[in-house]
Amino acid sequence: MAFYAIFCLYIHREKKEPRMNGRMSENIVYVGSKPIMAYVTAILSSFRDNPEGVVVKARGRAISTAVDAAEVTRTRFMNELTPTVTIGTEQLPGEGDRTRGVSFIEIILRKSPEAKTPGA
């Protein structure tokens, strides 16, 4: 069962080409309907792979879960993180020829420049 949970968390992470001024490979954690701590674990493991930053994305009802996961990560585990938030609306195809607007949020978590590295 533990292997399945870790495997499911890995599916939600996606690495793409460099972004954010070409300084880091993009780590994205897509937030859905799982418990908050599942996404906190995914964020923390993404930071292990890429310590410069992680992008947390959600749409619709999952927005509050994404905010909670980012805040739990920031307040309980990694106090040195600085969030940058982008919000908006995506137009998705609806019934027939109609489109519907779905809200989205993108939270970029980066380590603060003034954060001290161990041993420095």
For residue 117, is it within any domain? no
Domain containing 80: what range?
A: 2-111
Strand partners, 27: 15
Read off the pLDDT of residues 82-108 as tens digits, 9 standing for 90 and up.
Answer: 999 999 999 999 898 999 999 999 999
Distance of CA 85 to the CA centre of its chain: 11
pLDDT at 8 over 60: no
CATH code, domain carrying 62: 3.30.110.20
For residue 119, is it within any domain? no
For residue 61, is it within any domain? yes
For residue 116, is it within any domain? no
Specify the pLDDT at position 52.
86
Count of domains in the chain? 1
For residue 102, is it within any domain? yes
For residue 22, is it within any domain? yes
For residue 118, is it within any domain? no
Q: How far, in Å, CA of 60 to CA of 96, rounded?
A: 21
Strand partners, 28: 14, 55
Read off the pLDDT of residues 64-83 as tens digits, 9 standing for 90 and up.
Answer: 999 999 999 999 999 999 99
For residue 64, is it within any domain? yes
Contacts of 99 (CB under 8 A, 6+ apart): 91, 92, 93
